[in-house]
């Protein structure tokens, strides 16, 4: 059980999203929400409060009669539930719901407590609104996408329930749920914020960490099976560089290779005597995709840690407008809904994930090209050369997918387009940034799946499965349980998809 008490951490998101833990709202939090609502209700009397008794955006210059306040909120929700494109997967929507619920629980939004209570019920019952990819410009936050969340809370729209799409009204009847009632600004408070980009972004960080761990595994295994020298991973060499990420990657790779009998020590081969030869048969130094892994993945790790910090800070922030301050007995108008923090971090994340896919693609090419590795047949073909093709076909997929990542890694952060009668004259495009990053991460899992299948085929050809490290042997066994040894050509796409699913589903 995860208790919402004002602070959510990355592990809380993991527990709710991947471990299906339920949530409960701390009693003190409910009291805070109630106090915020009652204060705003009293404070807004005889005052002009944006979104309570005014129109929205450039229509804020129009005062709304008291008799029409509730209808104003319903109009806002219904008119902005205008998303198009593909539905965002339920896992990411659930993350967005948790992020939105958490910010409402801070007591800076002035919503009725029924809002947070119903949202908690929906999360616990795994009922997620149907929210579409297209529509958010990232300021005033995720207006369009969050309108689809608000639409469900008023009992309208559609939800995903037990794996299928249903009308919200029908599911509420089945589960005996009551829609919220609009009191003051529940529509605007639900919609005016960064919770979709933040929720998607947090899931992105969780998957990126898994992706990074698998990339370390693959990189270690390749160094091992080609009998690379180990000094590029040494503590001493990497300690001369001041970056924590590089040092940690090298340490993880050393741990992976600790009990390998294949990795070589330079002092045993090149330092013990001067050989009377002019050309060395073995490479003195490995290609960069093998030798520079700590320097390449170190920035990925450091960036990921920074992105995760910013995303969790955003999830624990009040990010709507206006902000209700019960302590100082005031309401402040501003722009906390602006998603630039998330947008920038998502662009940074997709850059380093794209670089990760490029590393995997180059390592794959190294294994497939006998002119580079000098120990494996072309395309790690275990069958008859010329008649069989080995991993030749799937290399095209890895290359194509990596190229798509390179194109997608262009930044959204600087792609502001003014809209909303130029009221929103500079926006973040943070939701687009988060969703494109999601695509880049999924693509990279595909490239890595192809690389790992190739690695185990190479281990098979070299007959070294009993000589590799215990960690490499474990991944060999795991992939072999999905992809049997093949010499004859087989249809590869089901195996690639199955390995990708395995890699994404392994938590830890």
Take residue 441 and report the two structure tokens written for it.
């991460």
Determine which helix (DSSP H) or strand (DSSP E) holds 220, and give its type and residue range: helix 195-225
Omega before 140 within 30 of 0, i.e. cis: yes
Determine the Cα–Cα distance for residues 483 and 356; give it in Å rounded to an integer.
Answer: 24
Q: From residue 313, how far is each of 44, 303, 306 by CA, in Å? A: 29, 15, 11
For 192, what's the count of Cα atoms within 13 Å in the CB-facing half-sphere? 24
Contact by Cβ (8 Å): 313, 103: no
Paired residues of 159 in beta bridges = 129, 166
DSSP assigned state of 374: S
DSSP assigned state of 164: E
Phi, psi of 132, deg, nearest 5: -100, 155
Q: From residue 281, how far is each of 13, 267, 278, 297 by CA, in Å? A: 52, 17, 10, 30
Contact by Cβ (8 Å): 205, 10: yes
Determine the Cα–Cα distance for residues 364 and 372; give it in Å rounded to an integer.
Answer: 11
Query: From the candidates 50, 74, 132, 287, which is the catalytic residue?
Result: 50
Determine the Cα–Cα distance for residues 378 and 461; give it in Å rounded to an integer.
Answer: 12
Determine the Cα–Cα distance for residues 39 and 326; give it in Å rounded to an integer.
Answer: 7
H-type helices in 156-194, by residue range?
168-175, 186-191
Is residue 413 annotated as part of the catalytic site, yes or no? no
Residue-level length of the chain: 508
Which residues carry out catalysis?
A: 50
């Amino acid at each position: 059980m995860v208790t919402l008490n004002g602070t959510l951490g990355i592990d809380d998101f993991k527990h709710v999203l991947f471990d299906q833990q339920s949530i409960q709202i701390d009693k003190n939090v409910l009291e805070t929400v109630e106090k915020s609502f009652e204060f705003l209700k009293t404070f807004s009397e005889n005052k002009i409060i944006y979104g309570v008794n005014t129109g929205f955006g450039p229509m804020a210059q129009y005062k709304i009669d008291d008799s029409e306040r509730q209808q104003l909120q319903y109009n806002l929700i219904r008119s902005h539930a205008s998303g198009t494109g593909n539905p965002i997967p339920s896992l990411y929507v659930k993350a967005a719901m948790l992020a939105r619920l958490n910010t409402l629980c801070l007591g800076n939004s002035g919503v009725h407590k029924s809002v947070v209570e119903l949202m908690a019920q929906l999360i616990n019952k795994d009922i997620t609104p149907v929210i579409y990819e297209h529509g958010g410009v990232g300021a005033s936050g995720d207006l369009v996408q969050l309108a689809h969340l608000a639409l469900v809370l008023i009992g309208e729209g559609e939800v995903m329930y037990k794996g299928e799409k249903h009308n919200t009204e029908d599911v509420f009847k089945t589960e005996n749920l009551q829609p919220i009632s609009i009191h003051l600004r529940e529509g605007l408070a639900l919609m005016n914020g960064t919770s979709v980009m933040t929720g998607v972004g947090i899931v992105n960080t969780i998957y990126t960490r898994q992706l990074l761990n698998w990339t370390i595994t693959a990189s270690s295994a390749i160094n091992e099976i080609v009998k690379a020298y180990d000094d590029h991973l040494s503590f001493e060499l990497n300690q001369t560089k001041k970056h924590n990420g590089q040092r940690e990657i090298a340490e993880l790779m050393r741990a992976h290779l600790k009990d390998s009998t294949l990795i070589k020590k330079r002092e045993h081969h090149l330092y013990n005597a001067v050989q009377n030869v002019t050309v060395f048969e073995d490479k003195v130094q490995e290609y960069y995709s093998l030798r520079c892994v700590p320097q390449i993945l170190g920035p990925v790790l450091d960036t990921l840690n920074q992105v995760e910090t910013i995303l969790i800070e955003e999830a624990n922030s009040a990010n709507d407008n206006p902000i209700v301050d019960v302590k100082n007995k005031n309401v402040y108008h501003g722009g906390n809904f602006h998603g630039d923090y998330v947008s920038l971090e998502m662009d940074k994340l997709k850059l380093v994930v794209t670089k990760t896919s490029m590393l995997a693609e180059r390592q794959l090419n190294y294994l497939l090209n006998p002119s580079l590795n000098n120990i494996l047949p072309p395309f790690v073909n275990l069958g008859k050369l010329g008649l069989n093709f080995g991993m030749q076909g799937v290399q095209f997929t890895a290359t194509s997918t990596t190229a798509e990542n390179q194109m997608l890694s262009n930044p959204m952060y600087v792609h502001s387009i003014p809209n909303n009668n130029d009221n929103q004259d500079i926006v973040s495009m943070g939701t687009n940034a988060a969703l494109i990053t999601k695509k880049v991460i999924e693509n990279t899992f595909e490239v890595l799946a192809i690389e790992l299948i190739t690695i185990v085929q190479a281990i098979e050809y070299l007959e070294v499965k009993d000589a590799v490290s215990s960690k490499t042997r474990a991944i060999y066994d795991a992939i072999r349980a999905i992809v049997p040894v093949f010499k004859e050509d087989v249809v590869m796409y089901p195996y690639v998809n199955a390995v990708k699913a395995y890699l994404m589903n392994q938590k830890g």
